[in-house]
Chain A
Amino acid sequence: DGGITQSPKYLFRKEGQNVTLSCEQNLNHDAMYWYRQDPGQGLRLIYYSQIVNDFQKGDIAEGYSVSREKKESFPLTVTSAQKNPTAFYLCASSIRNEKLFFGSGTQLSVL
């Protein structure tokens, strides 16, 4: 059945390490997004992509990178430049720019 799959569910990062969070969707949605949620905070937009091979920075893009080589996939790399990476990361997709469908999230923690 259709949906958004994020993996892994839990991820640990060592100091100075880059890690990549996976996001795959089979909803045939054009737009995909990455959000970060911190405890007691709302969702903040990291990056979004409206079409393949194109993406834009959101509000908190520093220390992150993305790629959109396929419509179905929008991986997020948390680089060593992101000094406070511990958070719950949510991937989402949409047909246009309205109702977003979210994945189940990845909890990233620093060792």
Chain B
Amino acid sequence: DQQVKQNSPSLSVQEGRISILNCDYTNSMFDYFLWYKKYPAEGPTFLISISSIKDKNEDGRFTVFLNKSAKHLSLHIVPSQPGDSAVYFCAALSGAGSYQLTFGKGTKLSVIP
């Protein structure tokens, strides 16, 4: 049973436009969420995170929104750049003592020049 779902395997966006990547979760115990970016044959790199006490976190071109009632979060990239083309993983953590991140299956973003 998938607790973190990224229902769009892929997304294509024109350069300069907004990219919106979505993530849904089912476990109400999740209280910390992270986004990772991954290029082929490389390890993921941390992008941005959000605690459940917030509904928005912004870092440059990247903003993550959290809707706890809908158990939904989204990553917005504005403006999108060709270098943003990668696979984006949503991940969730439950509780301060947990060491087990639960990852979604990822969304492959392609930014078209």
Q: Does B28 belong to the interface (CB within 8 Å)?
A: no
Interface of A (DSSP majority class): strand
Select one of B43, B93, B104 contacting A42, CB under 8 A.
B104
Cross-chain contact B105 with A41 (CB below 8 angstroms) = yes
Interfacial residues, chain A to chain B (CB-CB below 8 A): 4, 6, 31, 33, 35, 40-45, 48, 50, 56, 58-59, 88, 90, 92, 97-105, 107
Cross-chain contact A42 with B105 (CB below 8 angstroms) = yes
Task: Specify which chain B residues have a CB less than 8 angstroms from the CB of A41 in the assembled complex.
Answer: 105
Q: How far is the CA of A4 from the CA of B34 in the complex (A)?
A: 20
Q: How far is the CA of A33 from the CA of B103 in the complex (A)?
A: 14
Q: Which of B14-22, B69-77, B94-102 contacts A (4 or more CB under 8 A)?
A: B94-102
Task: Specify which chain B residues have a CB less than 8 angstroms from the CB of A4 in the assembled complex.
Answer: 43
Q: Does B53 belong to the interface (CB within 8 Å)?
A: no
16 A–B contacts, CB within 8 A, in A order: A42-B4, A43-B89, A43-B101, A43-B103, A45-B100, A45-B101, A48-B99, A48-B100, A97-B96, A97-B99, A98-B32, A98-B49, A99-B34, A100-B46, A104-B42, A104-B43
Segment 12-44 of B: residues with Cβ below 8 Å from A: 32, 34, 36, 41-44
